[in-house]
């Protein structure tokens, strides 16, 4: 059985809904993330025959940027999708 973790302060728990997600790996300074979001919504969806689904996206932070030699943020971006 999994141990339930309770969030505190700015950290809270949520339930991630099932369904199809597009996952994008990104390793960059935080200032470059707007370009990634623009690419996903302006290019990737159209080229791949998907559209955003009406569910929440979420991020998986894979590192602590201060521990990276170039202070880069490494994340997976999970965006809910559905076919056009």
pLDDT tens digit sequence for 26-44 = 999 999 999 999 999 999 9
Q: Classify each residue of 13-33 as buried b or exposed e, where b means 16 or more C-beta atoms within 10 Å of its C-beta.
A: eeeeeeeebbebebeeeeeee
Q: What is the pLDDT of residue 14?
A: 82
- At 51 the pLDDT is 98
In the predicted model, is pLDDT for residue 1 greater than 70?
no
Query: Domain locations in the chain?
Result: 21-83
Report the Cα 72 to chain-centroid distance in Å: 16
pLDDT at 18 over 90: yes
Residue range 36-78, pLDDT digits in tens: 999 999 999 999 999 999 999 999 999 999 999 999 999 999 9
Q: What values do phi and psi take at 13, rounded to 5?
A: -100, 150
């Amino acid at each position: 059985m999994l141990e339930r973790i309770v969030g505190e302060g700015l950290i809270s728990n949520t339930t991630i809904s099932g369904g199809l997600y597009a996952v994008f790996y990104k390793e960059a300074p935080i200032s470059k993330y707007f370009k990634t979001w623009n690419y996903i919504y302006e290019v990737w969806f159209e080229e791949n025959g998907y559209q955003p689904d009406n569910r929440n996206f979420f991020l998986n932070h894979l590192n602590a940027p201060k521990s990276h030699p170039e202070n880069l943020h490494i994340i997976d971006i999970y965006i809910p999708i559905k076919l056009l």
